[in-house]
Structure 1
Amino acid sequence: MEGYIIREGNRPWWQRLIAALLYTVTFVLLLLFFTNFQFTLDTKMLKGSFGLLEISIFTFFNALAFSVVRDFVFDIENGRFKILYCVGPIELGSWRKLPEIEYVSVFKQLLADGNYVYETNLWYQGNRHMEIYENLDKAMAFEMGREIAKILNVSLLDATVPNNYVWVDVDFQK
């Protein structure tokens, strides 16, 4: 299998810290729920017990939001790819057929805070795309786009300037 992996990398330390705290709160709340739960007809007591369960579910999903890392794995030889969602050593993802990629693009995306991020996308079936990489550094986004274009033997489009798209020359020799 000739495979390529695009890793999102590790989360920043502060996100891992928040995730660890939220996982700890989830564990403590679940422990309290299961140790204090009693089968009763008293609705006030049941509401209190299930309130702990509700909060633990909420904290668990917030912990996931701060800890999940997304990786792409491409198996060019067999024409398939998978998106892996990783939390520590746990990985979830399934193989899918790799669509016929038309080109790779790099474009500048405005963020809510007024800054920009550069995204690298794979385009297929006309206007459908997969975002596979993003970086604050334009050069890094282009390097990723250039490498992916070489691997897939497709063109690279510079779409960083609105309404002024330029096809970039990619050396297809490995």
Structure 2
Amino acid sequence: MANIITYLKPVPVTKRILGFTLIIFGFLAIFTKSIGFGAVAVAFGIHFSSSEGSQIDITSKKYRKIWSIASIHIGKWKPCPEFEYISVFSTKESQRVNVVTATTNVTRSVILLNLFYGNKHQTVYKTTNKKDAFKIAEHFKVAFNIDILDATGTEKVWL
């Protein structure tokens, strides 16, 4: 049996409940009233209740970025390159929000986990919780026998 490590970005319970409620009402609308309205409701429901993350198959040395809903993971497996180290990196994420007459940018701090190989990297996880990020980085360290670079502060530190 494969030894697969799965990391998913947590989705708040209220957002997940809203998503599944929209999916149910969307399917009801498709079968009883309007296919268009129902399809839009299902699409929003899937978006609200889904999560992103990554999976690493340590046995076969493959990885994939996944999109997940209700424990169904979608993503294409790729062979793992020879990873050199994992970086825990703090950055800002910006999103533009448009309303009828106004536009604003919402910025939040996020922590990315990047696996480096050569002069390339693969982002394998995104979170807002620093403790969670280092816990996951430790799993990658053990799985691939690599070092962790803490780039969350002003000074970069090898762990």
Query: Partner residue of 1:43?
Result: none
- Distance change in 2, residues 1:12/1:98 (3 Å): same
Q: Percent of aligned pairs with the same residue?
A: 22
Displacement of 1:142? 1.7
How far off is 1:114 after superposition? Answer: 5.1
Larger radius of gyration: 1
> Counterpart of 1:101 in 2: which secondary structure?
coil
TM-score by length of 2: 0.75
The equivalences for 1:37-116 within 5 A come to: 52-112=34-94, 113=106, 115-116=108-109
Q: C-alpha root-mean-square deviation of aligned residues, in Å?
A: 2.5
User: For residues 30 and 137 of structure 2, what CA distance do their matches in structure 1 show?
Assistant: 45
Q: Please list, as runs of the form range in 1=range in 2, the aligned pairs for 1:157-168 lying within 5 A after superposition.
A: 157-162=149-154, 164-166=155-157, 168=158
* Residue of structure 1 aligned with 2:123, choices 130, 134, 140: 130
The number of equivalent residue pairs is 148
Ranges in structure 2 where 5+ consecutive residues have no aligned partner? 95-105
One-letter identity of the residue aligned with 2:146: V
Q: SS at 1:11's partner residue?
A: coil
Q: Is the 8 A contact 2:29 2:38 kept in 1?
A: yes
Q: Per-residue CA shift, 1:138-157, capped at 9, x if unaligned? A: 23312221221221111211
Q: In the alignment, residue 28 of structure 1 is paired with which amino acid?
A: L
Per-residue CA deviations over 1:89-140 (Å, capped at 9, x if unaligned) read: 433334221122221011112244554232222223413322324232x233
AA paired with 2:91? Answer: Q
Normalising by structure 1, we get a TM-score of 0.70
For 2:84, what is the secondary structure of its paired residue? Answer: strand
1:148 aligns with 2:140: yes
Higher helix share: 1
Q: Indicate whether 1:118 and 2:117 are aligned.
A: no
Q: Is the 8 A contact 1:5 1:71 kept in 2?
A: no
- Give 1 or 2: higher strand fraction: 2
**Runs (4+) of structure 1 moved beyond 4 Å?**
111-115
Q: In structure 2, what is the Cα distance between the partners aligned to 1:10 and 1:88?
A: 12
Distance 1:147 1:126 in 2: 22
* Structure 1, unpaired ranges of 5+: 34-51, 170-174
1:114 to 1:69, Cα distance in 2 relative to 1, 3 A: closer
2: CA distance, partners of 1:89 / 1:165: 36
Structure 1 pair 119/73, CA: closer, same or farther in 2 (3 Å)? same
Tell me if the contact between 1:122 and 1:132 (Cα under 8 Å) persists in the aligned partners.
Answer: no
Q: Which moved more, 1:86-95 or 1:53-62?
A: 86-95
